[in-house]
Structure 1
């Protein structure tokens, strides 16, 4: 993988600093502590790089034995990613006899963003359409390629390298997120991308680099280092206090709709505050009116082998016999054998009703009102 560096205005954090420009400099004052999720993602990217290079016939060293988070799922994800990129390469060959494939390519978009650089997982350069694919190993947040600023920054960096060499008209950007069964693609014309870069990206990046602009909270706060202490985020979430937590029937429909639009963000903010306060208390800080105590814990065996032996010697069976779950059974039998033997016995019950924004891609389910209308 290419050497890593730190960019104040990184492509990966662009969704945040484009919405909240001063957060870039604010986050600079915090230590980058990393996380297990980030470490797992790094391992997955290393494996994907190896798998793709091998699939393309390039020399590559197998990193598996050095990957802390390696498992069968990561292996399957990396194989799937490599196969998908090969499909993209074949599609590129329809307009270009010899498309160029770049893996873990460092790109520079500093023409629009001061010190702007990043690393694109895969770039496929061909006449007509420039293709970029970004692998996401995360399971928590579904990532959409539509107008994704990180992908747009990578695309601009790729155009800086190849726009004068290839006849490029459009840019296709794909998010490959296998653990969420998510492959999201967004296409934009080169001219439209340049217009966004000049009219939106550059002016906002200038503000962010200078530490200017207005704080604005939203879903982009999730990965902000200052999210626990940010006053703007606190003030925005505490606006819900204007409703004095009245019972829902006493609220207007418009008020309930507003609260629904903010509820998830409010819960996330409250959770962040609690976690921050806990970690500070563990480090020695005392909060007025609060104390640190041991949480509830469950009993566990200190020596499972000794327990098995003792129970067996007493004439009892220490094990329970339980049917394997569907995922474990499919791994045991293999997908084709599983489908052959068990498809007739697999059902998927209707999910529990969940209220989501209209932008959610799932189809709306019937409610009592629509059921009545259909029956009559």
Structure 2
């Protein structure tokens, strides 16, 4: 890292909640995360993040193979490699190559940049540093393509700050041209390809009016805290006061009638709105307080204990086998793999071909969700109600 410069990642909490940067450790922690190619993980990589890194490395290798820049994709040292990873990275590469052919067929000179690091100056010694999954550029077009390997929430390319940052870095490849800019997120696990477009002028306005001011606030530790779904990625989430106030507001929002001994549906609806967030917050607080107590801190009114009975386990597998034989029993049992395990082993395509007709799904009980949920509404009949009584 160069002296006197501050580096921010192309995605992360700072774009949504500028003060969280210093709350979580500031520039040093972010610099450590970037230097280890760990995104915004603050130098600590979870199993899911490690799996995501392997997805991206395999996808990049496969693209280089298809483009003739590499002989073979490396898989020997991938801890999470399986048929599912192989299939989904192929799907990603298929879409990237489709875009390449589309650009090539239009008669343009096509160049492809894969996992290329960039260093984007913003202002006052603040830089954005990272690497984009894939950039395809021609004299008249710039395609920013990003792979999302997770099975969690669907991610949209529309006004996606991460992809817009990649596009800013990609503009350097186009000199002074005014290319058609297309932003694409490929999410194979959710069978989703999301695409948005933006002009060079719109991108530069976003940089000047949003990205640069937010970067300044982030480094200075100013701006406002913003509570939302992104809080689950924040290392400071257990002790963030803004989050605590938001959680408490969920309870206070219940418009209960003080003259009634019971809550009405309106009261319950207000509480349900924040129930999942509130539970996650309480779990975070409990874990953080336990860790503090383990480190020697005193939590007023609480103490550490050792539960009376922990999980039992055998100390020697071979000794247990020998004892079981003497007792005249078989210590092993055979268990059929679950549908999910088989799908991971053979990949979705072969799973559908060989096992789809052998699967039955249990009927699910109705679940109450917000009206914004895209799934169709279920309306129970009187018989449904009577059967549940």
Cα-Cα RMSD:
3.5
Structure-1 residue corresponding to 2:35:
none
Q: Corresponding residue for 1:195?
A: 205
**Match runs of 1:3-82 below 5 Å:** 8-13=7-12, 16-29=13-26, 31=29, 32-36=42-46, 37-59=48-70, 63-82=74-93
Residue of structure 2 in register with 1:97 after alignment:
108
Q: Which residue of 2 aligns with 1:231?
A: 241
1:211 to 221, 230, 252: 221
Of 110, 119, 125 in structure 1, the residue corresponding to residue 131 of structure 2 is 119
Aligned: 1:185 with 2:184: no
The 8 Å contact of residues 157 and 195 in structure 2, kept in 1 or not, is answered as yes
Q: 1:60, CA displacement in angstroms?
A: 6.2
Q: Give the 3 Å change call, closer, same or farther, for CA 292–60 of structure 1 in structure 2.
A: farther
**Is 1:164 matched with 2:176?**
yes
State the secondary structure of the residue aligned to 1:368. Answer: coil
Matching of residue 320 in structure 1 with residue 333 in structure 2? yes
TM-aligned CA deviation for residue 220 of structure 1 = 1.9
1:214 to partner: Cα distance: 1.6
Distance 1:248 1:346 in 2: 48
2:157–2:196 CA contact under 8 A, matched in 1: yes
- TM-fit CA distance, 1:119: 0.9
CA contact (8 A) 2:83 2:345 kept: no
Q: Deviations over 1:98-120 (max 9, x none)?
A: 31110112234434693123210
Once the two structures are TM-superposed, the CA of residue 125 in structure 1 deviates from its matched residue by 0.9
**Aligned pair in 2 of structure 1 residues 337, 364: CA closer, same or farther (>3 Å)?**
closer
Q: In the alignment, which residue of structure 2 is the partner of 1:133?
A: 145
Q: Which shows bigger deviation, 264-273 or 135-144? A: 135-144
1:275 equivalent in alignment to 2:287: yes
TM-score, normalization by structure 1: 0.81
Whole-angstrom distance in 2 between the partners of 1:331 and 1:222:
27
Compared CA separation, residues 252 and 156, structure 1 to 2 (3 A): same
* Contact 2:254–2:268 (CA under 8 A) maintained in structure 1: no
> Could you tell me whether the CA contact under 8 Å between 1:8 and 1:24 is conserved in 2?
no
Distance 1:109 1:358 in 2: 41
Deviations 1:130-170 (A, max 9, x none): 211222333444433222111111111111331525x512x
Kindly tell me: are residues 178 and 202 of structure 1, through their superposed partners in 2, closer, same or farther at Cα, counting changes over 3 Å? same
Greater Cα offset, 25-34 or 52-61:
25-34
Q: 1:99 to 1:261 in 2, by over 3 A?
A: farther
**Is the aligned partner of 1:353 residue 2:366?**
yes
The answer to whether the 8 Å contact 2:149/2:189 transfers is yes
Q: 1:116 to 1:248 in 2, by over 3 A?
A: farther
- Structure 2: distance between partners of 1:242 and 1:344: 50
Shift in CA distance, 294/230, structure 1 to aligned 2, threshold 3 Å: same
Q: C-alpha displacement at 1:181, in angstroms? A: 4.0
| Farther-moved stretch of structure 1 (228-237 vs 66-75) | 66-75
Task: Count residues with an aligned counterpart.
Answer: 361
- TM-score (norm. length: structure 2): 0.78
Q: Which runs of 5+ in 1 are unaligned?
A: 1-5
Mean Cα displacement is larger for which, 99-108 or 315-324? 315-324
